[in-house]
Amino acid sequence: MLWRLRTAGMFLFMTLLLMAIGALISYIVGADWMYGIVAMLIVSSFLCVFSYFGSKDMALKANGARIITEAENPRLYSVVRDVARKAGISMPEVGIVDSGMANAFATGRNPENAAVVATTGLLDLLPDDELEGVIAHEMSHVKNRDILVMSVASAMAVMITYVSRIAIFASMFNGNNRNSYAYIIALVASITVPIAAVLVQLGISRNREYLADKSGAEIIQNPRALANALNRLENGNQTVYSYTLNDQNARSAPSPAEDYDFAHMWIAGSPKKTGLTTRMFSTHPPMEERIRRLDEMAEKMGL
């Protein structure tokens, strides 16, 4: 319940930001401020509908994933089917991304229209029990409808950024500004509001990762398997990332699994070493904290 309230609060904050910018634009151009609020509510509703129906196909295409049959990879297909049964949800589609980076993601607006995707690097790296832990994490995203939540959050953050830019241009080129402070207000909003929106979006992403770790471990009743998998992913991906830094051919064709634009979708975020400031803009919680929480959970379960 706490996770849901926190996420709902973050979405409310983003909606209020969008409405405030709409009111500001109306004020700048001399219109009734209610027009701007209503317009932004309509825009945000459209974004939610568009994200609801289009998130799955866009995610698969953007990450270079291909849907497979059971005959193409019986091992992965079997693990996904077993975890779906334990989670009590429909069998999702199964996909693979050809990448040396060990990673996985799930997509789809609901459990009846979902896909779970793994990289070839993940399949090569993990034993069966740890692979099950990773798939359980992704299945939790499906069960909790996290993909829809993050798609809407991302779309709203982008829209807030664009609308704040409209506010600054409206104040610059509109000849009917109500007062001399309009430009200053719009300028400050265009700088601070997008940053606030992105921070909220990333906060939602980190919260959902913690939740997926916990609920995924509960599905398979083995937090230790997921903790070991995350530790192996952290070390293995650092090795792959270091290799790409020293190989021109690898750098010329980066894996979608290490592209920051899609990092929020994968179980492991960017393998780059980060400092305190960078972590504020991270799509994922620190891996060591995720592992620590899972280890504590395993100890409570007597594992």
C-alpha to C-alpha distance for 63 and 37, rounded to whole angstroms: 35
CATH number of the domain bearing residue 253: 3.30.2010.10
Q: Is the pLDDT of residue 261 over 70?
A: no
Q: Which residues pair with 107 in a beta bridge?
A: 115
> What is residue 176's predicted lDDT score, i.e. its pLDDT?
55
Task: Give a yes or no: residue 197 inside a domain.
Answer: no
pTM of the model: 0.77
Q: Is the pLDDT of residue 184 over 50?
A: yes
The CA-atom distances, in angstroms, between 53 and each of 15, 57, 89, 270 are 20, 9, 20, 27
Residues 91, 38 share a domain? no
Higher pLDDT, 175 or 257: 175
> What is residue 245's predicted lDDT score, i.e. its pLDDT?
40
C-alpha to C-alpha distance for 113 and 107, rounded to whole angstroms: 9
pLDDT band at 300 (very low <50, low <70, confident <90, very high): very high
Task: Give a yes or no: residue 157 inside a domain.
Answer: no
Coil vs helix vs strand at 117: strand
Q: 138, 209, 288, 289: which one is catalytic?
A: 138
Task: Give a yes or no: residue 123 inside a domain.
Answer: yes
Query: What residue numbers bound the domain in which 19 lies?
Result: 2-59+163-189
Torsion, CA 167, CA 172, CA 178, CA 181, rounded to 10? 80
> What is residue 225's predicted lDDT score, i.e. its pLDDT?
95
Specify the amino acid at residue 110: N
Backbone angles phi, psi at 275, to 5 degrees: -100, -175
Q: What is the pLDDT of residues 48-99, one digit of tens each?
A: 677 667 778 888 888 889 999 999 999 999 999 999 999 999 999 999 999 8
Higher pLDDT, 254 or 111: 111
Q: Which residues contact 128 (CB under 8 A, 6 or more apart)?
A: 75, 79
Task: Give a yes or no: residue 195 inside a domain.
Answer: no
Q: Is the pLDDT of residue 199 over 60?
A: yes
The CA-atom distances, in angstroms, between 254 and each of 101, 117, 262 are 10, 18, 12
Residues 246, 181 share a domain? no
> What is residue 265's predicted lDDT score, i.e. its pLDDT?
75
> What is residue 248's predicted lDDT score, i.e. its pLDDT?
46
Choosing from 154, 189, 224, the residue where a domain stops is 189
C-alpha to C-alpha distance for 44 and 52, rounded to whole angstroms: 12
Q: Is the pLDDT of residue 223 over 70?
A: yes
Chain mean pLDDT for the chain: 79
Query: Is residue 70 among the annotated active site residues?
Result: no
Residues 140, 9 share a domain? no
Q: Is 176 exposed, middle or buried (0-12, 13-18, 19+ CB in 10 A)?
A: exposed
Q: What's the structural domain count of the chain?
A: 2
Give percent above pLDDT 70 in the chain.
76
pLDDT band at 169 (very low <50, low <70, confident <90, very high): confident
Range list of β-strands (E), the chain: 66-68, 93-97, 104-108, 114-119
8 A C-beta contact, residue 121 and residue 97: no
Strand order in the sheet with 66-68: 66-68, 93-97, 114-119, 104-108
> What is residue 110's predicted lDDT score, i.e. its pLDDT?
82
Give percent above pLDDT 90 in the chain.
33
pLDDT band at 140 (very low <50, low <70, confident <90, very high): very high
